[in-house]
Structure 1
Amino acid sequence: MSSIGSENILEWTQAQVQDWLLGHNLRQLSRLFTDCDGRSIVYLSKYIKNCEFEQVLKLLEADSVRRINESISLIELSCFQSLLHEHKKRLQSMIQRQCENSDRTH
């Protein structure tokens, strides 16, 4: 995971997304998201969170069968969502600490 230079997922390249997915043993999703950069992953996460889950799952399943000839793993998808949530919380905490440190120095 050391090859991921930025904490901001929006800045991740396709290779960094692949490193992150494989680093968390999300092998099927790494194959499915092979052409996705960080911004694509953030958008996908928003679709999953804000749209009707059954519809999103149906579309992901169709993509998975078409692109890698496998059914989508609900377990991997759940882990993916959990990891993104944790990453977002960690980033927010880091930003908050930076703001607090900045307030102290001014």
Structure 2
Amino acid sequence: MGKYAVLLNAGPKDAGPATNALRYAATLAAADHDVAVYFDGAATAWPGELVSRLDHPMRTYFDDLLELGATVGACALCASAYETTASCEEAGVTLLGSPDEHAPDVALLVEEGYELLPIG
């Protein structure tokens, strides 16, 4: 099976690409691929948005990813910059790096065999 890291940068103003990203990631995870989704930049607003909006089309894919055991994380630096740290934590999304360090380490992901799928 493959290893895929979805690097999502599309925030709530770009719901189409973001919805597709989570749908593709959930589809891969359901097919037993190793999937990691990373909320980056404006996309760090999504975890809080999805927890508060049960009717959002992305919510099902977000829940599926968590249930399927996919890695779901957010850049701590970006979350700090976009003031979404608390909402990421409340949604159960792991913050990666620190408020002074961008994450994830894409070079390490590639070394670990992940194919990077940047979206947004």
Q: Highest relative contact order (Cα 8 Å, sep 6+), 1 or 2? A: 2
More helix by share: 1
TM-score (norm 1): 0.30
TM-score (norm 2): 0.27
More strand by share: 2
